Chains A and B, each alone.
Chain A
Amino acid sequence: NAGVTQTPKFQVLKTGQSMTLQCAQDMNHNSMYWYRQDPGMGLRLIYYSASEGTTDKGEVPNGYNVSRLNKREFSLRLESAAPSQTSVYFCASSEAGLGYRYFGPGTRLLVL
């Protein structure tokens, strides 16, 4: 099992450009999440999907959109990137109702 996979691993964008971060899991989990990690801020939840067909906002959703494509895949889209979105983005999944997460390897995003 690959667990949680993310693409790309690293990306550089110019302000105003758009991009989609891809995430897939092969553990048959119902719930999937997108976090960002910034120095001194800890991991913060951007959006989550409790089950296929549903998505909800987390702590810091502004400037992002998500799509739960199917049970395996959950994508994060930046429509118009800003320097404040420079961060490391992690996708995670879990069994419904369980607290612990399985995290992907992360995508490092730099917005110039």
Chain B
Amino acid sequence: EDQVTQSPEALRLQEGESSSLNCSYTVSGLRGLFWYRQDPGKGPEFLFTLYSAGEEKEKERLKATLTKKESFLHITAPKPEDSATYLCAVQAWNNAGNMLTFGGGTRLMVKP
């Protein structure tokens, strides 16, 4: 069974204080790992897809990396507008219907 665990559950940062969010996964053949951002009261918004160990993707202050067991979302010099819940999900090659398994999310709060 595919599993995704995100840590920490919540993270408080001061504006400008860089940090990383972790997504640990177990999957029988990784097809893709996905990062989403979710603002309160809204649906998740797609950020990145990573396909193989060693791959990196960047978007503004966010950088996602992937190893064979985990992914990190690095946030450099965060701003208050980066406050949101960040979700990680995996897709395996052997599951039917293009299914994703989601983690519980990390709630990020950036104070000015």
Contacts and interface: CB of A to CB of B under 8 A. Distances in A.
Interface of A: 4, 31, 40-45, 48, 50, 56, 58, 90, 92, 94, 96-106
Contacts, number: 60
Nearest to A103: B43
18 contacts: A4-B43, A31-B98, A40-B104, A41-B104, A42-B87, A42-B103, A45-B99, A50-B97, A94-B98, A96-B98, A99-B34, A99-B98, A100-B46, A102-B46, A103-B43, A105-B41, A105-B42, A106-B43
Nearest to B100: A99
Contact of A103 (B32, B45, B105): B45
A97 B95 CA distance: 12
A100 B36 CA distance: 9
Interface in B89-104: 89, 91, 96-100, 102-104
A58 B34 CA distance: 19
Nearest to B90: A99
A41 B102 CA distance: 9
A102 to B, nearest CB: 7
Contacts of A100: 32, 34, 46, 49
Interface residues of B, number: 24
A101 B46 contact: yes
A96 B100 CA distance: 14
A26 to B, nearest CB: 15
B44 A90 contact: yes
A70 B10 CA distance: 40
B97 A101 contact: no
Given A42-B105, A106-B42, A97 B100 contact: no
B64 to A, nearest CB: 13
B46 A45 contact: no
A42 B102 contact: yes
A98 B100 CA distance: 11
Contact of A105 (B43, B87, B96, B105): B43
The 4 residue pairs across chains A and B that have the minimum distance between CB atoms: A103-B43, A43-B102, A42-B102, A99-B91
